[in-house]
Amino acid sequence: MSRIRSKDTKPEMVVRKLAHAMGYRYRIHRKDLPGKPDLVFGPRRKVVFVHGCFWHQHDLEHCLDGRRPKSNTSYWSPKLQRNVDRDVDHVTALKAAGWQVLIVWECET
């Protein structure tokens, strides 16, 4: 279980460097926006979330890291489902406020 970390910032750094290289100005973790998006491109009204595949349950069709643990399911299932539900709420709120939302998955970085 060593690859399961609550905060894995490495994929986030990859995306930040990419955005920077493309000349985009952004802010990080704006606390005034739902879900504190990892990158916020204010003038473009775009936000980017960099999601860990396990914690945010990446679609199993695309990524095996989204698998739920087979042991201790009574602990993990509700916990991971809460993350997924929260993500949906954040995206819905952002879109309603006129933001475009991009999700970058850890396995894609």
Least Å from the CB of residue 90 to Zn ion: 18
Tell me which residues in 7-26 interact with Zn ion (CB under 5 A). none
Report the alpha-carbon distance of residue 104 to residue 109 in Å, rounded: 7
The minimum distance between CB 72 and Zn ion, in angstroms, equals: 21
- The Cα–Cα gap between 72 and 63 comes to 21
Site string for Zn ion, 41-70 (x = CB under 5 A): ------------x----x----x-x-----
Q: Residue 8: phi, psi to the nearest 5?
A: -110, 105
Q: Would you count residue 102 as binding Zn ion (CB under 5 A)?
A: no
Secondary structure letter of residue 34 according to DSSP: T
- For residue 90, the surrounding DSSP H or E stretch is helix 73-96
**Residue 107 binds to Zn ion (criterion: CB under 5 A):** yes
Q: Per rule CB under 5 A, is residue 33 in the interface with Zn ion? A: no
Q: Is residue 105 at the binding interface for Zn ion, with CB under 5 A as the rule?
A: yes
Phi, psi torsion values for 43, nearest 5 degrees = -60, -25
Cβ closer to Zn ion: 41 or 101? 101
**Alpha-carbon distance 90 to 109, whole Å?**
22
Binding residues for Zn ion (CB under 5 A): 53, 58, 63, 65, 105, 107
